[in-house]
C-alpha cells in the first residue's frame, strides 16, 4: 500500500510539475505575444509618423512651387507694367518733341517771311 501511495504521490507530483510548466510556458508565450503587439504598435506609429512627415514635405514643396510661380507672375507683370510705362513716357516725349518742332518750324517760316524783303534786297 505504501508503494501505491508513493506512486500516487509521485504521479501527482509529476502532474503538478507538468501543469506548472504548462502554465509557465503559457505565461511566457503571453509575454512574448504582448511584446510582439507592442513592437507592431511602435512600428505602426513610426510608419504613421513617417507618412505624416512625407505628406508635410510634399505640401511644403507644393506651397514653395506655388509661391515661386506667383512671384514669377508678379515679376512678369511688373516688367510688363514698367515696359508700358516706358512706352507711354517715350510716346509723351515724342509728341512733345513733334509739337515743339512744329512750333519752331512755324516760327522760322514766319521769320523768313518777315525777312524776305531783306533777303531779296541782297
With a pLDDT cut of 90, the percent of the chain lying above it is 70
Residues 6+ apart with CB under 8 A from 119: 112
Work out the mean pLDDT of the chain and round it to a whole number: 92
The number of domains in the chain is 1
Dmax over CA atoms of the chain, in Å, equals 176
* 84-101 mean pLDDT: 92
Predicted confidence (pLDDT) at residue 3 exceeds the cutoff of 80: yes
Predicted confidence (pLDDT) at residue 1 exceeds the cutoff of 80: no
Confidence of residue 115 (pLDDT cuts 50, 70, 90): confident
Q: Is 3 helix (H, G, I), strand (E, B) or coil?
A: helix
User: 29-86 pLDDT, tens per residue?
Assistant: 999 999 999 999 999 999 999 999 999 999 999 999 999 999 999 998 888 887 888 8
In terms of residue numbers, what domain contains 10? 2-121
Predicted pLDDT at 33 = 97
Q: Say which residue, 121 or 27, is predicted with more confidence.
A: 27
Q: What is the spatial distance between Cα 25 and Cα 95, in angstroms, rounded to a whole number?
A: 104
Amino acid at each position: 500500500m505504501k508503494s501505491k501511495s508513493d506512486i500516487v504521490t509521485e504521479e501527482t507530483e509529476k502532474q503538478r510539475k507538468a501543469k506548472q510548466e504548462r502554465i509557465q510556458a503559457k505565461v511566457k508565450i503571453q509575454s512574448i505575444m504582448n511584446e510582439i503587439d507592442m513592437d507592431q504598435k511602435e512600428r505602426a506609429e513610426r510608419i504613421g509618423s513617417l507618412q505624416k512627415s512625407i505628406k508635410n514635405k510634399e505640401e511644403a514643396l507644393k506651397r514653395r512651387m506655388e509661391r515661386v510661380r506667383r512671384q514669377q507672375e508678379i515679376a512678369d507683370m511688373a516688367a510688363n507694367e514698367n515696359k508700358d510705362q516706358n512706352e507711354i513716357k517715350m510716346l509723351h516725349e515724342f509728341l512733345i518733341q513733334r509739337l515743339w518742332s512744329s512750333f519752331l518750324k512755324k516760327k522760322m517760316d514766319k521769320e523768313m517771311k518777315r525777312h524776305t524783303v531783306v533777303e531779296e534786297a541782297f
